[in-house]
Amino acid sequence: MSKGITSKQSVMLQGLAAAMMLYHHLFVRPDMLFVEYSTLLGETREIRLALFCKLCVAIYAFVSGYGMCSVFLRAASEGKKGMHFFTLLRQDYILVLQKLLRFFSIYWFCVLLYFACENLFLGKEKPLSELLPNLLALSDSFNGSWWYALEYVKILLFLPLLHLLFVFENDHEERLKKKWFFLTLFGLLALFLVLALNLFPSWEYHFRLFVNRLMPSYLLCAAGGLLIARFSLIPSLGKLCISLLPRVQGPVQEETFRQARDQGPVQEVLPCQSRHLPALASLAGLLLMFLPFLIRYLITVDAMQTSLDFLLTPVFCLGFLLFLGDRKIPTQIFFFIGKHSVYIWLLHLMFLDGFFRDLVMASHTAVGIYLTLLFLSLLCAILLRTVYTAFSGWLLLHLKPFLHALQTAPSTSKEGENH
């Protein structure tokens, strides 16, 4: 992690979040399974563990913030020099729009498939009138886990504003534009609140409802991810660990130490002295994971208690990545699950209905139920991802001439005007 969390590690974190999500949805309300099963943990501890696994949502939000910051910074570095504030604002929102279009293409595909399966094969009548609100992420009446789709939209629309707070610090003119932009934005918000106070007697109730619908705890998780990426806090932490290395490991050659301090991970730089470092890193990672787990396990009695997640999530994610290290098999497993995590999220509840439900519950053990749901969800996700990739590739192939014509049309018209 010498350069922070890589794209592969982000996918691994999404795989961890997907695995936690399945456990949370299975065991947070064991009475809703309507089946007796044996568990090694006991029902109370299992419910507490399932409540902890609600951290999966915060992990998704954190990874979204971290990843989008990397996209913003890469686009800014590849863009024109001397880019202006409003140009960067437009560029960031174009990137967000592209991200949303990619997400909604998968989301719409899964919603339509879910609607068809529920009505045709599982004997559940989903009203056609509810299809459009679900497609627009304004309702989760078809599937309760789809509530996060709207939250994801809010997160992505919020991130460019946060990113732009920390740009153009040394350019007086652009800093002035930024200042007036945010003053205007906050002024309009204040005006809206004043009007609401005077025109609507029940404004306070609606304002609280609006804030609750924003789910600020997950916005904070995404903001934390963006700020950690923006200020390179993870590499800084790695360099801090390396600076403490001689005190733990004994004397290290000065030249090798300087190389390690400048380049990052100790395991990649130090020779024979580093043979115990993977084990030490895994132990440190385990401790970092245990601290958020203990705090959330002890204080959380309801799935909606998420106020501390923005503090706990970065620590837990860093601990998880340190714990895995370079272990090939675990990293490949979580990476594979992460590649299919969107499909798992959107469709896994389908396996808790009808015939599939009986199949999931067949083992009558907590471990067996969980592994069966994970296997079926992953199998379905692999199939759907393959179909979606093939279909989107076919569609893009047939749309490419049309898109090319749209791109060349303006330049052609300009040439005509010049003549």
Q: Where are the alpha helices (DSSP H) in 84-202?
A: 85-120, 131-135, 147-164, 172-199
Q: Do 335 and 315 reside in the same domain of the chain?
A: yes
Q: Do 371 and 253 reside in the same domain of the chain?
A: no
Token reading at 50: 């399932």
What's the confidence (pLDDT) of residue 334? Answer: 97
Number of C-beta neighbours around residue 416 at 10 A:
8
- Residue 219 located in a structural domain: yes
Residue in the structure block whose two tokens are 């999220």: 345
- Residue 181 located in a structural domain: no
Query: Which DSSP string corresponds to 266-328?
Result: HHHH--GGGTTHHHHHHHHHHHHHHHHHHHHHHH--STT--TTHHHHHHHHHHHHHHHHTT-H
Q: Do 253 and 303 reside in the same domain of the chain?
A: no
Q: Do 59 and 135 reside in the same domain of the chain?
A: yes
Q: Do 258 and 340 reside in the same domain of the chain?
A: no
What's the confidence (pLDDT) of residue 2? Answer: 61
- Residue 340 located in a structural domain: yes
- Residue 32 located in a structural domain: yes
- Residue 189 located in a structural domain: no
Residue 266 and residue 325: Cα distance in Å, rounded? 12
Task: Give the number of domains in the chain.
Answer: 2
- For residues 338 and 346, the answer to whether their CB atoms sit within 8 Å is no
Contacts with 282 (C-beta within 8 Å, 6 or more apart), sequence order? 322, 323, 324, 325
Residue 320 and residue 288: Cα distance in Å, rounded? 8
Q: Do 137 and 262 reside in the same domain of the chain?
A: no
Contacts with 146 (C-beta within 8 Å, 6 or more apart), sequence order? 111, 134, 137, 140, 346
The per-residue b/e assignment along 381-406, b for 16 or more CB within 10 angstroms, e otherwise, is: beebeeebeeeeeeeeeeeeeeeeee
Q: Do 263 and 357 reside in the same domain of the chain?
A: no
Domain range spanning residue 151?
7-169+198-243+275-407
Residue 290 and residue 56: Cα distance in Å, rounded? 15
Written as one letter, the residue type at 172 is: H
- Residue 394 located in a structural domain: yes
- Residue 397 located in a structural domain: yes
What's the confidence (pLDDT) of residue 419? Answer: 39
Boundary-marking domain end, from 229, 253, 274: 274
Closest-CA residue to 175 (of 309, 269, 302, 84): 84
Q: Do 346 and 265 reside in the same domain of the chain?
A: no
* SS3 assignment, position 419: coil
Residue 39 and residue 277: Cα distance in Å, rounded? 36
- For residues 85 and 181, the answer to whether their CB atoms sit within 8 Å is yes
What's the confidence (pLDDT) of residue 116? Answer: 87
Token reading at 47: 């419910």
pTM of the model: 0.85
Q: Do 126 and 110 reside in the same domain of the chain?
A: yes
Written as one letter, the residue type at 335 is: F
Q: Do 264 and 319 reside in the same domain of the chain?
A: no
Q: Do 270 and 296 reside in the same domain of the chain?
A: no
**pLDDT one digit per residue (tens) for the chain, 419 residues:** 567 899 999 999 999 999 999 999 999 988 888 788 888 888 889 999 999 999 999 999 999 999 999 999 998 887 666 678 888 899 999 999 999 999 999 999 999 998 888 787 766 778 888 899 999 998 888 988 999 999 999 999 999 999 998 887 677 788 888 889 989 999 998 888 777 767 776 666 666 666 667 788 999 999 999 999 999 888 777 566 555 554 444 444 444 445 544 544 434 433 344 566 677 778 888 998 999 999 998 888 888 888 899 999 999 999 999 899 888 999 999 999 999 999 999 999 888 876 788 899 999 999 999 999 999 999 999 999 999 998 888 777 777 776 566 556 544 444 444 43
Closest-CA residue to 1 (of 268, 210, 288, 202): 268
Q: Do 257 and 307 reside in the same domain of the chain?
A: no
What's the confidence (pLDDT) of residue 207? Answer: 65
